[in-house]
Amino acid sequence: MAGDEPLIKLMDVHKIYKLGEVKVHALRGVNLEVKKGEFVAIVGPSGSGKSTLLNMIGAMDRPTKGKVFIEGRDITNMSDKERAALRLHKIGFVFQQYYLIPWLPAIKSVEVPMMIAGVPPAERRKKAEALLREVGLGDRMYHRPSELSGGEQQRVAIARALANDPEILLADEPTGNLDTKTGAEIVALIRRLNEERGVTCVVVTHDLEVAAAAKRVLYLRDGRILPRAPPTMLGKEKALRPGEEGG
């Protein structure tokens, strides 16, 4: 990847889903560039295409039309095996649902991606411990999901997402199941990881307060990135225009 080349680039990306005889145009000609080390929030209401867009960036789905580049590589027509390797080593995912295995303690959950990547047991245990301390769970390493609060479970999920040192952290409504205070703590953690680790973060959310933590905010509606905040968002607390610095 050249020094001035964006880490993430989407060119005229469209996604059409077929539901029986009905076609749903989830993305309509999205163009997007994200530089290495950026923290970008993509804001939009339910059904605007946010999750679909994140799935394109994360190599979890393929566009109907257009191209997606990661580190200058066109991932659009990569094989499933190549895309799986990209997700394992280059991209970490955090979701609204925590997707923790119920019977595994936190430390084992964090070890899972490293185990898949072939990291030796002693090395992955040491790294999992360090990651859980980094997200504030040094005293909860051997607790199972049922013994953890929602915020703690999301911290485990974030530690797991960082297990293989990804270049990119993608978060889909990461505070959606959390109360306001806990959600703010999770957003602050993601911002700290962006600043201290330099990991590139892309967060999709419907919540303007979550978006305010990002350094750049984009607005998505009906599958299109808008040139400015839509009228329904203007005047709301902490509403930001695209490209405006967060707090």
d(CA 155, CA 189): 9
Q: Tokens 């005889």 belong to which residue?
A: 21
Residues in the chain: 247
| Pure H helices in 91-213 | 106-116, 121-134, 150-161, 180-197, 208-211
Q: Could you report the per-residue pLDDT of 123-165, keeping only the tens digit for each?
A: 999 999 999 999 999 999 999 999 999 999 999 999 999 999 9
Asked, for residue 176, whether it belongs to a domain, the answer is yes
How many domains is the chain built from? 1
Asked whether 56 and 13 are in contact (CB, 8 A), the reply is: yes
Asked, for residue 74, whether it belongs to a domain, the answer is yes
Asked, for residue 73, whether it belongs to a domain, the answer is yes
Asked, for residue 234, whether it belongs to a domain, the answer is no
Asked, for residue 164, whether it belongs to a domain, the answer is yes
Nearest Cα to 43, choosing from 204, 186, 200? 204
Asked, for residue 3, whether it belongs to a domain, the answer is no
Q: What is the pLDDT along the chain (247 residues), one digit of tens a residue?
A: 556 789 999 999 999 999 888 999 999 999 999 999 999 999 998 889 999 999 999 999 999 999 999 999 999 999 999 999 999 999 999 999 999 999 999 999 999 999 999 999 999 999 999 999 999 999 999 999 999 999 999 999 999 999 999 999 999 999 999 999 999 999 999 999 999 999 999 999 988 889 999 999 999 999 999 877 776 665 554 444 444 444 4
Asked, for residue 2, whether it belongs to a domain, the answer is no
Q: Could you report the per-residue pLDDT of 33-47, keeping only the tens digit for each?
A: 999 999 999 999 888
- Which CATH number does the domain housing residue 111 bear? 3.40.50.300
Asked, for residue 247, whether it belongs to a domain, the answer is no
Global pTM? 0.90
Domain of 176 in residue numbering reads as 8-226
Task: List Cβ neighbours of 101 (8 Å cut-off, separation of 6 or more).
Answer: 108, 109, 112, 145
